[in-house]
Amino acid sequence: MQPLMQQKMQQNRQQKIQQKIQQHSAGGTRIFRGALAAAVVVAISGCSAEQAAPTVEPHVAFFNALHSLCGNAYAGERIVERPGQDLLEGDEALTVHFRECSETEIKAPFHIEQPATNSWDRSRTWIYTLAGDHLTINHDHREPDGSHSEHTFYGGATVDSGTAEQQMFIYTERTGDAGEVLGWRIEVVPGERYSYGTMADGEWTWRIDFDLSTTIAAPPAPWGFE
C-alpha cells in the first residue's frame, strides 16, 4: 500500500469515526464516545501495522550484539582444550576488551596473562567486520615493539546468515586432515557469555568463554595500539 493512499484511507476512517462521535455526543453517551475514541487508535494502529519495520538479518543482529559490548572488558576461561596444540596452560587470566567500534568494525584485543614472568601477552586483536551480506573475522598479531608479526591478519568469513547468537567464520586456506571445514565459531549470549574458538565441521576444537554478567577494569592498549 502506497504511503499517500494509506494516509487518505486513514484520514477517511478518522473523519467517519469523528462524525459518529458528533452524532452521539448530544445524547451524552460517554461510554460510546470512549469506545469510538478507542476505535480511532485501532484504525491508526491497523494502518501502521502494514508498515512494519524491516527484519534485521541474523548476521547484523549478531554484529549489533557484539557492538553493544563496546567499551567493556570481561574475564574469560578456557572451556575446550586442544591437546598438544594449545595456546594456553589453563591457569592464566584471560581478558577481552571491546576497545574500538565503528558502524562496520569492532576491534577486541585478547590479553593473556603470563604467570611465569609476571607479565601479559598483548599481541592479539580480533577484528570483526560487517561487510554487507556477511561478516568477517581477522586476527591482528603484533610484536612487543608494535610491529606486525610474520603470521598476521588471517581469518575467515561467514557463508550463511547464521543466527543472532552464533556465527561460523570459514577458513578457506585449507581443510582438516579428513576434509573437515575449518574456521572459527563465535557465540554471544547477551548478559551471559561471549565465546570464541576454533571449529571443525561446526564442532568446537578449542574454546574460551568470557563472562558477560560482570565487567572488569579495562586493560592497557594491545601492542601496536598504544
Block means of pLDDT (10 residues each) for the chain, 226 residues, are 42 44 43 41 46 85 98 98 92 97 98 96 98 97 97 97 98 94 98 98 98 98 95
Helix (H/G/I), strand (E/B), else coil: 209? strand
Partners of 80 in the β-ladder? 207
What pLDDT score was predicted for residue 226?
Answer: 85
Residue 193 placed within a domain: yes
- Do residue 24 and residue 66 come from a single domain? no
- Do residue 142 and residue 91 come from a single domain? yes
- Do residue 104 and residue 206 come from a single domain? yes
Gap between the Cα atoms of 51 and 47, Å rounded: 7
- Do residue 114 and residue 42 come from a single domain? no
Grid look-up 494509506 returns: 6
Residue 36 placed within a domain: yes
| Cell numbers that stand for 140 in this block | 591482528
- Do residue 36 and residue 94 come from a single domain? no
CA angle at residue 113 from 151 to 70, to 5 degrees?
75
- Do residue 42 and residue 93 come from a single domain? no
The reported pTM is 0.77
- Do residue 158 and residue 199 come from a single domain? yes
Gap between the Cα atoms of 174 and 170, Å rounded: 10
Backbone angles phi, psi at 213, to 5 degrees: -80, -15
Cβ atoms of residues 214 and 74 within 8 Å = yes
Residue 221 placed within a domain: no
Q: What is the CATH number of the domain that holds 64?
A: 2.40.128.20
Q: What is the largest CA-CA distance in the chain?
A: 89
- Do residue 122 and residue 188 come from a single domain? yes
Residue 217 placed within a domain: no
Residue 8 placed within a domain: yes
CB under 8 Å to 3, separation ≥6 — which residues?
51
Give residue 100's domain range. Answer: 58-211
Which of 30, 49, 68 is a domain's end point? 49
Nearest-Å Rg of the Cα atoms of the chain is: 27
Residue 216 placed within a domain: no
- Do residue 75 and residue 120 come from a single domain? yes
Domain count, the chain: 2
What pLDDT score was predicted for residue 117?
Answer: 95
What pLDDT score was predicted for residue 51?
Answer: 61
- Do residue 62 and residue 108 come from a single domain? yes
Helix (H/G/I), strand (E/B), else coil: 25? helix
Instruction: List, in sequence order, the alpha helices (H) in 26-117.
Output: 30-49, 58-67
- Do residue 83 and residue 182 come from a single domain? yes
